[in-house]
Structure 1
Amino acid sequence: MAMNFKIFKDQDTVATFVADILRKQFNNNSTTIAGVHLQHDQAPINAALQQNVSNNPVDFSQIHILDYDNNAVFYKNLGVPEKQIHQIPTDEKIEAFIKRHAKTKENKGKLTMQVVTIDREGSMGIPMNDGVLIAREIILVLTGSEKAEVVRKLYEENGSTTFVPSSLKSHRMVNVVLDEAAAQGLPEDVRSYFTELYA
């Protein structure tokens, strides 16, 4: 299984961890193209990212953000150039959109990272094959007790069912970041192992 589970105490700790991953990604790859679609999760990731960037400045001059949550003002205030904050039309494939609007010689038009969540009904709100799985790395954020059932399905189902997010298991690099409440959907031994590992 290509999924790496990381379980933290609460939503604030999850937000701090994800923000740190994002900031390090931006620092380590100054031509990152990152998609962010987190409106269906309560972890305060934007606030944590803003704090992290204020403590550890980032050169956003070549960063491109696929802004699924309509947070252009936030990213602009963070330092991302306005022309590099993209809202994705629902009728356009993401790879084609990137090729037309975000591809440069340096980033080669490759979607570096998708940071996403799954809502309570099991929907990601982005096409799986063209939107999520094309990213080199996926960060899946699931917090709150209402997400425990989604976590259970994601863990148990094998990709051959109608639960679309289970196809994430076919991807080479998926980090599933959970708080203890959402992690209740995992088997107890799995939950104990990953809680102890990241506590």
Structure 2
Amino acid sequence: MAMNFKVLENEHVVAEYVADILRKQFNNNPTTIAGLHLAKENAPVLDELKKNVDSHAVDFSQINILDYDDNKSYYEALGVPNGQIYNVSFSEDTESFIKDKIKTKENKGKLIVQVVSLDASGNLDVALRQGLLSSREVLLVITGTDKKDAVKKLYEENGKTNFEPADLKAHRMVNVILDEAAAEGLPEDVRQYFTARFA
């Protein structure tokens, strides 16, 4: 179990970083099943992913996307086949959905990565139990000073309250990728420790 924080300069650098992780994931595992829900996030992750893919070709022929934000045309433009882009809802049980619709011998029916964000109130907008804990890795993208209080709660709380994002601490691999504005919610020493130089 690990929740790793990485503090980057601004939302543009956060977007570049997350896009690079995603593109490498797709290249390294060409049968990846990935969920993306970034509708409430200012960091332009999808724009940067398109630029990254334009510079470094990716074979999307076996990639499957759980599309929480209704961005089907975007994923088609990337090269994901139409029949491998699935519009899913907040409360969708991803394990059952994948077993019914996506599982193949190659991908073994495992959700590899979920990319999500918090809103300013700390809401995830992807059901924790059904959508996040089943993923092998979670990338939690948080930018903007309006989210610093949610970041503070995420860091301090231990899952014994009603603040659902804190329950992600029970997940085996969560990478929290923040810009400096959102990271203002972290204690000063912690913020310094999790800057790009150390993280």
TM superposition score category, shorter chain reference: over 0.9
Q: 1:46 to 1:92 in 2, by over 3 A?
A: closer
Specify the alignment match of 2:144 in structure 1. Answer: 144
Which AA in structure 1 matches 2:114?
A: Q
Q: C-alpha deviations, 1:109-158, integer Å up to 9, x for none?
A: 10000000011122111110110111000000000000101100000000
Give SS of 2:197's match.
helix
Specify the alignment match of 2:123 in structure 1. Answer: 123
Q: Distance in 2 between matches of 1:134 and 1:73?
A: 26
Which AA in structure 2 matches 1:152?
A: K
Q: Distance in 2 between matches of 1:57 and 1:16?
A: 16
Which AA in structure 2 matches 1:190?
A: V
Judge conservation of contact 2:92–2:131 (CA < 8 Å) in 1. Answer: no
Divergent runs of 4+, >6 A: none
Give SS of 2:195's match.
helix
- Taking the TM superposition and a 5 Å limit, the aligned residue runs for 1:19-38 are 19-38=19-38
Structure 1, 82-91 or 149-158: larger mean CA deviation: 82-91
Which AA in structure 2 matches 1:20?
A: D
Q: 1:150 to 1:78 in 2, by over 3 A?
A: same
Q: Distance in 2 between matches of 1:60 and 1:181?
A: 34
Alignment pair present for 1:50 and 2:50: yes
Q: C-alpha deviations, 1:74-113, integer Å up to 9, x for none?
A: 0000000010000114564211111111111011110000
Judge conservation of contact 2:121–2:147 (CA < 8 Å) in 1. Answer: no
Q: Distance in 2 between matches of 1:27 and 1:198?
A: 26
Structure 2 unpaired stretches of 5+: none
Give SS of 2:175's match.
strand
Which AA in structure 2 matches 1:117?
A: S
Q: Distance in 2 between matches of 1:90 and 1:180?
A: 28
Give SS of 1:59's match.
coil
Specify the alignment match of 1:83 in structure 2. Answer: 83
Q: Distance in 2 between matches of 1:28 and 1:158?
A: 34
Which AA in structure 1 matches 2:152?
A: R
Alignment pair present for 1:191 and 2:191: yes
